[in-house]
Every structure is written in C-alpha cells, then in structure tokens.
Amino acid sequence: MDQPFCTNHNPAAFQLLLRSSLYRELAAEREEIMRHKWIESEKAGRDIGYESALVNWIVHHRAGWKRSRHRQSLSIDARINE
C-alpha cells in the first residue's frame, strides 16, 4: 500500500499507524479489492477500474470476507489463550 505523506515528517507516528489494527484491516481489505479488480479485469478483457471493482466487491463479497476475517481472528485468539 502507498505510504501516507506523514512518513517523512514523523516516522514514529507512521510506525504506530502500521501497527494499528484498523490500518491492518483497511490494508487487507484494499488488497482484496485489488485482487478482485485484477480477476474481474481479466474476465472482462480490460481494466474495469478501481471504483467499479470496489462497488462490485462490496456488493458481492465484503460481508463474506468480513465474516471469514472475524472467524480467523477468533480462531487465533482461542489458540493464544490456550
């Protein structure tokens, strides 16, 4: 993912950002959207664009992806707490 402008101004703040769970979730979601964009663009034989891929992914895949991420995190938490 592209680094925000604050990287050069405050490296400590940027490192804190990278460790935040919100940032990690948003980065993972963006990665899934980009993967979806690539797959759908290949199917269409042309670049469908980020906005089209984003809307399509949200409508058709986001809820399932979020459920899957939640189950994974619960599984990891259970193993950590054993």
pTM of the predicted model over 0.95: no
pLDDT tens digits for 29-38?
999 999 999 9
Structural domain spans, the chain: 6-80
pLDDT tens digits for 36-56?
999 999 999 999 999 999 999
Contact 73, 65 (CB under 8 A): no
**What is the structure's pLDDT at 20?**
83
Contact 48, 41 (CB under 8 A): yes
pLDDT-derived band of residue 1, with 50, 70 and 90 as boundaries? very low
Q: Is 80 exceeded by the pLDDT of residue 8?
A: no
